Structure 1
Amino acid sequence: MKIGYRTLKTSVGTPVSILLAQWVGLSNFISAGILTILCIQPSRKSSFLSAWQRFIACTASVVFSCVIFELIGYYAFSIFLLLLLFIPAMVALKATPGIASSSVVMLNLYGSGNITLHLIGEQFVLITIGLGVGLLLNVYMPSLDNKLKKLQSQLERNFSRILYEYSLYIRDENDKWQGKEIAATEDILTEAKNLVIRDKDNHLLRNEHTYYDYFNMRERQFELLKHMLPLVTHLPKTDRIALEIAAFFERLSKAVHPGNTAITFLEQLKELRREFHAEDLPETREAFETRAHLFQLLHEIEEYLIIKNKFKKSDVTPWKKRKSEKGS
Structure 2
Amino acid sequence: MKYRLGMRTIKTALGATLAILVAQALGLKYALSAGIITVLSVQNTKQKSVEIAKLRLYSTVLALLLSGILFVTFGFHPVSFGLYLLLFIPLAVEFKLSDGIVMSSVLVTHVLGEGYIHWNLLVNELLLVAIGAGIALIFNLYMPKMVQQIKHDQATIEEQFRKVLFCLAKTIRSRSVTIDEEVLFQSLADQLELAKVRAEHNRQNYLYDEMTYYAQYMEMRLMQYQVLIGMRQLLGKLQMTLDQSILLADLTEHIASSLHEFNTTDELMVETTQVLHIFRNQSLPKTREEFENRAMLFQYLNDVKHLLEIKRQFVMNLTEEQLQKFKPEASCSLDEK
How high is the TM-score relative to the length of structure 1?
A: 0.85
Indicate whether 1:297 and 2:318 are aligned: no
What code does the residue aligned with 2:230 have?
Answer: H
What code does the residue aligned with 1:154 have?
Answer: T
SS at match of 1:254: helix
SS at match of 1:26: coil
Q: State the Cα distance separating 1:293 from its structure 2 match.
A: 0.7
In structure 1, C-alpha distance between the alignment counterparts of 2:273 and 2:251, rounded to whole Å = 12
In structure 1, C-alpha distance between the alignment counterparts of 2:175 and 2:294, rounded to whole Å = 19
After superposition, what is the alpha-carbon deviation per residue over 1:195-252, rounded to whole angstroms, capped at 9, x for unaligned?
Answer: 4344333332335633233223222222211111111112234322213322332333
After superposition, what is the alpha-carbon deviation per residue over 1:147-198, rounded to whole angstroms, capped at 9, x for unaligned?
Answer: 3212212221221121122122221454412523334433443443444344
Q: State the Cα distance separating 1:297 from its structure 2 match.
A: 0.9
Equivalent residue in structure 2 for 1:119, among 118, 121, 129? 121
In structure 2, C-alpha distance between the alignment counterparts of 1:121 and 1:270, rounded to whole Å = 69
Could you say which residue in structure 2 is the equivalent of 1:326? none
SS at match of 2:209: coil
In structure 1, C-alpha distance between the alignment counterparts of 2:188 and 2:109, rounded to whole Å = 49
Unaligned runs of 5+ in 1: 317-328
Could you say which residue in structure 1 is the equivalent of 2:10? 8
Higher mean displacement: 30-39 or 307-316: 307-316
Indicate whether 1:238 and 2:247 are aligned: no
Indicate whether 1:133 and 2:154 are aligned: no
Q: Is the contact between residue 68 and residue 82 of structure 1 (CA under 8 Å) also seen in structure 2?
A: yes
Q: Is the contact between residue 236 and residue 242 of structure 1 (CA under 8 Å) also seen in structure 2?
A: no
Q: Is the contact between residue 235 and residue 242 of structure 1 (CA under 8 Å) also seen in structure 2?
A: no
SS at match of 1:181: helix
Could you say which residue in structure 2 is the equivalent of 1:28? 30
In the alignment of these two chains, the number of paired residues is 316
Could you say which residue in structure 2 is the equivalent of 1:108? 110
Could you say which residue in structure 1 is the equivalent of 2:48? 46
Could you say which residue in structure 2 is the equivalent of 1:167? 169
Unaligned runs of 5+ in 2: 316-333
In structure 2, C-alpha distance between the alignment counterparts of 1:78 and 1:184, rounded to whole Å = 58
State the Cα RMSD in Å.
2.5
In structure 2, C-alpha distance between the alignment counterparts of 1:50 and 1:155, rounded to whole Å = 34
Identity of aligned residues (%): 31
Equivalent residue in structure 1 for 2:254, among 246, 251, 256? 251
What code does the residue aligned with 2:65 have?
Answer: V
How high is the TM-score relative to the length of structure 2?
A: 0.83
Q: Is the contact between residue 47 and residue 204 of structure 2 (CA under 8 Å) also seen in structure 1?
A: yes
Equivalent residue in structure 2 for 1:218, among 206, 218, 221? 221
Q: State the Cα distance separating 1:315 from its structure 2 match.
A: 2.9
Equivalent residue in structure 2 for 1:55, among 57, 63, 81? 57
What code does the residue aligned with 1:301 have?
Answer: V
Could you say which residue in structure 1 is the equivalent of 2:86? 84
After superposition, what is the alpha-carbon deviation per residue over 1:47-82, rounded to whole angstroms, capped at 9, x for unaligned?
Answer: 222111111111222222223334334443322211
Could you say which residue in structure 1 is the equivalent of 2:151? 149
In structure 2, C-alpha distance between the alignment counterparts of 1:24 and 1:261, rounded to whole Å = 59
In structure 1, C-alpha distance between the alignment counterparts of 2:274 and 2:232, rounded to whole Å = 23
Could you say which residue in structure 1 is the equivalent of 2:101? 99
Change (3 A) 1:58 1:270: closer
Indicate whether 1:287 and 2:308 are aligned: no
In structure 2, C-alpha distance between the alignment counterparts of 1:221 and 1:7, rounded to whole Å = 38
